[in-house]
Every structure is written in C-alpha cells, then in structure tokens.
Amino acid sequence: MGRRSVDKYAAPVQSRSNAKSNFQKTPSIMVTSLGRLFVLFVLIAIYSAPSSQAFAQSPAGVYRGEWRSGSNGHRGPMRAVVQPTSDGNYQARFSGRFALIIPFTYKVALHPSVDPNGNTFLTAEKPLGPILGSYRMTAVADPSGLNGNFQAAGDNGSIRMNRVR
C-alpha cells in the first residue's frame, strides 16, 4: 500500500451530513457575535455621548468671558474657577477688571439645582455690607459655558463665559 500525499492547505473532507450541520451552526454564531458587537457599540455610544444630564452633576471647571452692566454699560473681562465642596455645593472664585484697570476678585458659594430638562442652575447670594447690600447671581451652566445675571449695589447685569477646562 502506498502512502497518500496530504496537502496541509486543503480543507478537510467532510461527510455530507457533517458539512450540513456545520453550515447550520455558522449563522447562529454570526448572529450571536453580531448581536454582542451591536450591544457593545450601543453601550459605548451611550456612555461616551455628551449629555446635559451628565454635565448637570458637575459644573466644576474654569471659565473665561465677560461681565456687562445693564445699568451703566460698563463691562470687563472675567474669569471663574468653580470647584465642588463637600456639602454638594460649589465654591467659585471670580476675578476680573472694572474700568479696564481696577482688578477685583471674590469667592462665593454656588448652590446647584437641575430642572426637568437637565439644565444646571447655579445661584449665589453674598452680603456685601450695610452700604452695598447683597450680591445675587443666577446662572445656567452647560458644557460650553456659564451664562447668567447678577444684581449688586444698585447695579444689575450679565455674565457670559466660555468653559476653558
């Protein structure tokens, strides 16, 4: 009896019934793999997509922009650093310039609230003394910035800041 040469690259010969059963198994394996791949893709898309609800949990960051008086038209550059506090609120340090040369800086506690649409509102109130009264601010924080209104010492105006970090 002679030896048969074996081609190591040739597909193994299968009986007709064995080939049929393998063919029937392949689509279910592919469907299962595609299903898992689809679920993985959906989960990655959900968790990596930016959403205001996710941002509503932390407006902490650095913002730069401008304050503008509604009473007298004055305006100037402004920066804010917002950091979380242990009580669920935030501490903000605002700094900027008045009349282009007079620097100011102040710290204020920000109290967050979230509306049904997922918008984060930050409110602040700080006494400035018997002559100046109180400083009040309400702002909306979103992934792109911090925008709101303020009222203090007979003045009112707006702040418009972009998020830089």
pTM: 0.63
Tell me the two tokens of residue 40: 């993985």
Q: Say which residues have a Cβ less than 8 Å from residue 131's Cβ, sequence separation at least 6.
A: none
> Which of these, 161, 165, 139, lies nearest to 150 by C-alpha position?
139
Q: What distance lies between CA 81 and its chain's CA centroid?
A: 16
Domain boundary assignment for the chain: 13-49, 54-163
Give CA–CA dist 80/70, Å, rounded: 20
* pLDDT by residue, tens only, the chain of 165 residues: 555 555 555 555 555 555 454 445 455 554 455 445 444 443 344 344 443 334 455 899 999 999 999 988 889 999 999 999 999 999 999 999 988 889 999 899 999 999 888 889 999 998 888 887 888 999 999 889 999 999 988 889 999 999 998
Residue 77 has a pLDDT of 95
Cα distances (angstroms) measured from residue 21 to each of 15, 25, 31, 76: 10, 6, 16, 77
DSSP string covering 44-92, please? HHHHHS--HHHHTT---EEEEEEEEETTT--EEEEEEEEEE-TTS-EEE
Count Cβ atoms within 10 A of the Cβ of residue 139 and give its class: 0-12 exposed, 13-18 middle, 19 or more buried: buried
CB of 145 closer than 8 Å to CB of 63: yes
Residue 1 has a pLDDT of 55
| Exposure class string for 11-23: b at 16+ Cβ within 10 A, else e | eeeeeeeeeeeee
Rg (CA), the chain: 31
CATH topology of domain 54-163: Lipocalin (2.40.128)
Residue 12 has a pLDDT of 53
